[in-house]
Amino acid sequence: MDREVIIPMTAHRPLLDVRDLEVAYETKGGLFRKSMTTVVKGVSFHIAPGETYGLVGESGSGKSTTGRAILRLADIAGGSIDFDGTDIAGMGSRTPLSYRRDVQAVYQDPGASLNPRHHVGRAVTDALKRHGIGDRASRRKKALESFEQVGLTAAHLDRFPSEMSGGQLQRVAIARALVLEPRLVICDEAVSALDLSTQSQIINLLMDLQKDSGVSYLFITHDLGVVRHISQRVGVLKLGELVEEGVTEELFDNPQHEYTQALLTASPSSTPEGRDERRELRQKRRVSVPSLRQAS
Amino acid sequence: MTTSTVGPAAASAPAARQASGPAQAWRRLRHQPVTLAAVITIAIIIVIAAAAPLIAPYDAGETDFTSVLAGPSADHLLGTDDFGHDILSQLIYAARTALIVGVGSVLVAMLIGVPMGLILGYKGGWYDRLGSRVMDIADAMPGIMIGFVVIAILGRGTLILIFAIGLIFSMNFARMVRAITLTERKKLYVESAHVTGLRNRQIVFGQVLPNLVGPLAVQGAVFLGNAIKVEAALSFLGLGLPDDQPSWGGMLRTAAEHQVDHPWMALPPGIAIVITVLALNLLGDGINDALSGARTSRKQRKRALHQAPTLAEVEEAKRAVSSVVTTPVAVAPALAQALVTTDKHPDPVLAVRDIHIVADRPDGEVVPLVSSLDLTVGRGEVMGLLGESGSGKSMLAKSILGLLPAGVRVESGSVELAGEELVGRTERQWREIRGKKLGVVFQNPQANLSPVHTVGRQLIDPLRIHHGMSKAVARDQAADLLDMVGVKDAAKRLDDYPHQFSGGMAQRVAIAIALAGDPDVLILDEATSALDVTTQSQVLDLVLDLREKLGMAVINITHDLGVAAEACDRVAIMYHGQLLEVNDVFSLFDEPHHPYTKALLASHPTADHKVDRLPTIADFVTADGEWIAR
């Protein structure tokens, strides 16, 4: 890595400290042989309390797998994940309930992440119930408060997911994630499937909620524009390796790694000005960097 | 706190509230006459069975030795059997038996099979391997033999029969539940439940099980019919119920003994079994159709093309349009018209004039999807069609391609392609246009291509059809096309199948196929939306290169402002089925006219610069829901 280690924004130790994380999947090699494919190869980064860390990369970069490993949904093959001083990679098969409360997730497809057969309000009350918070009536009250916090109303509590728009569903997913007052939320492409006008509302909502609660976000996305807007620091993943990391502004203004540079030139601009030059630049880069010529 | 609200509509319920799943299924169910008939039949059988003592002319065990083995008479409408039992009364009491045994055994089968399937499907691993073998072994044994064994061990009796039949069908339930659970457990809502910390037990029974209710209802109805058949078979063999208990199978056995001299005796129980089982099977099919919302028969599907759409289709089309309901800002037509700055191209190849696209609801209501839209696309021009979901941009493209879904039609207006009218063509006339004068590439690269044919075949066929080439010439031409879209070793790769290409490469192949007919207009329907940014930029650059080389016009339908900025000459902004603004791409981004365009541009987070807070549509709308013109 070319960049020097970034000093956390606060003097505290980081909330999440990922070191040399490796995740491998079992793939069928043959009848008796099992072969392992490593999809995350020695990734290290940390997130400070109240910070948003962006993890960008294309499909197959291992960005979602990294998130799943932190959520203890993918088996960790190597390295460590320290959450508030505890190594969660070394825990057994059981995940402590407190960790399930501290770390939450918001996914790309809000429709799929909510049970199609349950009223959406139940997603929130079920979570509260599992963590032993309140009685039936107070849980409902709390669910309503969390709905209002994300811009929904009491009328939305008793709807099925099929009765709501994508933006509304994503608000429900955010309400479910935040009602437990977590300290870290993994946002896996959380705004990628939304229309532009909805996307900006959800981004603002996430940032407002962070300001109020001091929650940290791991923001996983392929969208460089969103990452630039929302995160303080960014890591760039390519084929399971973190190729570059840095403070967002610096990384975007002065990318060091050629892959980051290629990503930035390939990323569509918000304005047509200078597009012919960009096209030429891409042309040249494709010729000079053979590995990018056919990135897929 | 400062939450960003969704604008004025956030608090109010959506205009068209969707009916919930079960309610919608019930509505569909009511629209199926066959299913309705089945429901009525079953209801009648249930009433007869429940009220047997009231309806039956004689008691179940009552014997009349004065008339034994008699034919139908006024006293005994269906005659009597060898003990002088009234056959009609026996039939009625036997319905009771059939239902009790049927329902009971399905319940037993579910009680054993559902938890087993849930656990095997959810736990996987050794549980699943072991459990699946048990199911295989159980399946290999004839069901009726399992019945024999259970009855042989436990003896005859109603409860034992219920248990025996339940056991026979339990493995079918287990197998089905396991298969569904396997797919459900990979879904995001299950993962979300994990993240919330729910226990496995809570996830399996609280989260997964409710999603099995539909399939279980279907299978339950079908197995109920089967259970009644098995009960009849076992009783016929004398293994089922005790002889003094009336059953359709037992009646058949009596009938079989007197088959030669009294053939009519087999008819009443036989007909009763057929009607009951048939009604239950039809009910199962009906529930299945209602839940999936699909019409199964080909005839119906064909009819649907010309007649009213199904409710589901209209709901979907309407939802597509009303999903923008979170920001329902009325578009004043006058304002919209005034803002269309350069809608005319001096050398148009495609001209859409005053087109109205509507969806017909079964209740006769006509829902507008695209209203009075004018648009021209010039020769060799890349026209961007930019809009969010529900803007009508895809419907517009589908009307140009003649691919509107069932129930959606062009109500008025015209689409002219190089002097030819496209609206009102028959399917046969469309074939001269699609794939020849109009090429199209859709979003999902693999879905654009047929998985069972080599890409060579998919390229050669259109070349031969549209240009009448010989096979050898077409193959050379196909290789040239593949080479042109940037596929290495084109001649060799002609023999590869689509799955052997990566997403970006598959999309290049799809473009090559679209170009095979030498089209005047190439339509890209979100063709690069599913691709990674580096791949997307390559495909967009390729389209621009091809346009320069071949001179065809391109309509690039996208929701991505960046795609419009990078790869379009002119851009048309669509919102709520209306065209708000058309302009040269540089002017449009520099000086957007319509407040909605301004809002879109402002709310787009980009990699080139950063703002403190993203403006949203709400910032461009007054409290009364009107656009702020500024």
Residues B245 and B337 in one domain: no
Domain with residue B219: its CATH number is: 1.10.3720.10
- Say which amino acid occupies A44: S
C-alpha–C-alpha distance, residues A184 and A195, integer Å: 25
Q: Is residue B460 located within the same domain as residue B596? A: yes
Residue B545 lies in a domain: yes
Whether residue B332 sits in one domain with residue B254: no
Contacts of B599 in chain A (CB under 8 A): 197
User: Domain total for chain B?
Assistant: 2
- pLDDT at B520 (0 to 100): 93
Calculate how close chain B gets to A80, using CA atoms only, in Å.
20
Tell me the residue range of the domain where B501 lies.
Answer: 326-344+379-402+420-620
**Cβ contact, residue pair B534, A266, below 8 Å:** yes
Cα of B584 to nearest chain A Cα, Å = 10
Let me know if residue B512 belongs to a domain. yes
Opening angle at CA B155, ends B151 and B157, nearest 5: 95
Per the DSSP assignment, residues forming a β-bridge with A24 are A38
Is residue B397 located within the same domain as residue B275? no
B515 & B577 share domain: yes
Cβ–Cβ below 8 Å for B189 and A115:
yes
| Residues B473 and B609 occupy one common structural domain | yes
Spatial distance between the Cα atoms of B630 and B627, rounded to a whole number of angstroms: 9
pLDDT at site A144? 95
Residues from chain A that touch B571, judged by Cβ atoms under 8 A, are none
Q: Which of A110, A266, A85 is nearest to A188 (CA)?
A: A110
pLDDT band at B144 (very low <50, low <70, confident <90, very high): confident
Residue B111 shares a structural domain with residue B233: yes
Distances (CA, A) of B102 to A245, B52, B160, B169, B276: 66, 17, 13, 11, 11
Q: Indicate whether B283 and B332 sit together in one domain.
A: no
Mean pLDDT over B484-494 rounds to: 90
Q: Check whether A151 has a pLDDT greater than 80.
A: yes
Per-residue pLDDT, B292: 67
Contact call for B610 and A200, based on CB within 8 A: no
Please indicate, yes or no, whether residues B340 and B212 belong to a single structural domain of this protein.
Answer: no
DSSP states of chain A as a string? --SPPPPPSSSSPPSEEEEEEEEEEEEE-SSS-EEEEEEEEEEEEEE-TT-EEEEE--TTSSHHHHHHHHTT-S-EEEEEEEETTEESTTS-SSPPHHHHHHEEEE-S-TTTTS-TTS-HHHHHHHHHHHTT-S-HHHHHHHHHHHHHHTT--HHHHT--GGGS-HHHHHHHHHHHHHHT--SEEEEESTTTTS-HHHHHHHHHHHHHHHHHH--EEEEEES-HHHHHHH-SEEEEEETTEEEEEEEHHHHHHS--SHHHHHHHHHSPPSS-TTHHHHHHHHHHHHHH-HHHHT--
DSSP code at position B84: -
The answer to the question of residue B245 being in a domain is yes
Question: Is B24 part of any domain?
Answer: no
pLDDT at B630: 54
- Domain identity same for B270 and B388: no
Q: In chain A, which residues have their Cβ closer than 8 Å to the Cβ of B606?
A: 225, 228, 269-270
Query: Do B266 and B182 lie in a common domain?
Result: yes
Q: Partners of B415 in the beta sheet?
A: B352
Q: List pLDDT tens digits, range B175-224.
A: 999 999 999 998 999 999 999 999 999 999 999 999 998 889 999 999 99
Residue B87 lies in a domain: no
Please report whether residue B558 resides in a domain: yes
- pLDDT category of residue B335 using cuts at 50, 70 and 90: very low
- B358-408 pLDDT per residue, tens: 988 777 788 889 988 999 999 999 999 999 887 889 899 999 999 898 889
Measured between beta carbons, which residues in chain A are less than 8 angstroms from residue B189?
Answer: 112-116
Q: Is residue B446 part of a domain?
A: yes
Q: Does residue B433 belong to any structural domain of this protein?
A: yes
Chain A residues inside the 8 Å CB shell of B534: 58, 262-263, 266, 292, 295
Indicate the helix (H) or strand (E) that contains B423. none
Chain B nearest C-alpha distance from A155 (Å)? 7
At residue A270, the pLDDT reads 83
CATH number of B445's domain: 3.40.50.300
Task: Compute the average pLDDT of residues B341-359.
Answer: 81
Same domain, B105 and B204: yes
Structure tokens at B76: 């005994």
Question: What pLDDT band is residue A195 in, cutting at 50, 70 and 90?
Answer: confident
**CA B471/CA B461 separation, integer angstroms:** 9
